[in-house]
Amino acid sequence: MFTLKRINPVSIRSCIQFASRTCASSIAHEKKLTPEITNKSNLTKYLTGYQRFHNHYFKENPEIYNKLQNSQHPSSVIIGCSDSRVDPAIITDAKPGDLFVVRNVANLVGPYVNDGGHHGTATAIEYAVKVLKVKNIIVLGHSKCGGIQGLMDGNASQFDFVGDWMNIAQNAKTITLEEHPDAPREVQLRACEHNSILESLKNLLTYPWIVERLEDKSLSISGWYFDFDQGELLVYDGELEQFVGVHELNQRVDPAIITDCDPGDIFVVRNVANLVAPYKPGNFTEKGHHGTASALEYAVKVLKVESIVILGHSKCGGIDALMRDTAHNFEFLGPWVDIGQKAKEKTLKYYSGKPLEIQIRACEKASILQSLENLLSYPWIVDRLRQGIISINGWYFDFETGRLSAYDPDTCQFELLDTEKAEERLRQLSTRKSEVENFQIEPEDEVGSKLKLLSSNSRPSTLGV
């Protein structure tokens, strides 16, 4: 039997712009992009960082990427926060392939609920435990957490997804207020950040296949806390029942590594197969905790990000399971990768008879476009697209070559971005609006090189035009 005692704490404008055209010509005439708006969103920094990564890190470490081309064997899975200031790979100085990382708002894990819904965090944990056979699960929280602040202030419920998501930590808030009723706000926030980590650890114990691994001692679970003020990592000590400081402690695709960015640059959401489910008005409060949607909503509405990037990659285990029909052997993985079912259907239609490896690669790119299309079902994303103050983008990283490509709706293909002309190409595209259109795959001779974006007389109904 595993128990956890309660703690009493003492204390990027798009690189290849996909959908920034106005939804109707009347809107284009009504509002013209000003230089301040069109140049405000700039992904050049990440593109330049990618070039540094490819020219130095990738080329200077061939043994790492040669080993990772066909498989990954991370020893640990980290459930971290999407906060741009807390990147698990940077904090732990990990190399690609070391960590399997899940990121969501406030690094939360909901209790075990197998209801057939889209449970991104649970899916990633299941994949890590059952397929990758990780030996450690780490819940990594941090100070100054916006999600916990919203929970404590009671304003998380004003959002479509964030309120429901943060309810996972409601018990942590209750415990915090019981133990620190008159404490200053900063003390209460820090206490709730600690307690929410413990709440997620307790929720992990509701997953039968985690408990089974814990009982045979082939798996451990831990709670970590990163303190911004001191730059210190704290680890929960079950015997002392508190977080204690440590100065020495006994993934293949990390956006921060690939783009060579600094802490604070990127707000990252991570899940299996980089999927985004469609917005379902009226249903999101009825079933499931929508971690990915919550993180998107927080990034768009609170942080007011200027670009959304869907970053896919080759050798994706989630897409492999989707194409091989093995995903439904799992409780959460099957319903989750079904988000990419349309991409699979189109891949099989246009790549019928092709080797499975070619089909998988095509589906990896098609699923990026599927997630981009699903983003267009979120009204608050569409609203910002129509105003020209946000862009959505599809990127693809190839392990074998270390190349990053981005989807260009003009050429209808993923184009390499590590050329001398890439930055100039970015500037050309960043000042242009384009019409939101429907996705559809067209057959191509080369392996998944072109995924067509076909014009349509009828625009998506979610645009309300």
| pLDDT tens by residue, 210-246 | 999 999 999 999 999 999 888 889 899 887 788 877 6
119 is annotated as contributing to ligand binding: no
In the chain, which segments carry CATH 3.40.1050.10? 72-305
**Residue listed under structure tokens 């246009």:** 350
Element (H, E) at 365: helix 356-375
Q: Which pLDDT score is estimated for 418?
A: 59
How many percent of the chain have pLDDT more than 70? 76
pLDDT in tens, 36-90: 323 334 678 888 888 888 888 888 888 888 888 888 899 999 999 999 888 888 8
Q: Which pLDDT score is estimated for 452?
A: 36
Pull the structure tokens for residue 355: 């080797």
> Packing angle between helix 422-430 and helix 44-52, nearest 10 degrees?
170
Q: Which pLDDT score is estimated for 269?
A: 83
pLDDT in tens, 353-378: 889 999 999 999 999 999 999 999 99
pLDDT in tens, 118-148: 898 999 999 999 999 999 999 999 999 999 9
290 is annotated as contributing to ligand binding: no
**SS3 for 457?**
coil
Element (H, E) at 151: helix 146-153
CATH of domain 72-305: 3.40.1050.10
**Is pLDDT larger for residue 364 or for residue 448?**
364
- Mean predicted lDDT score pLDDT of the chain: 78
15 is annotated as contributing to ligand binding: no
Cβ atoms of residues 89 and 266 within 8 Å: no
Element (H, E) at 397: strand 391-398
3-state secondary structure string across 201-249: HHHHCCCHHHHHHHHCCCCEEEEEEEECCCCEEEEEECCCCEEEEECCC
Q: Does domain 12-69+317-465 have CATH number 3.40.1050?
A: yes
445 is annotated as contributing to ligand binding: no
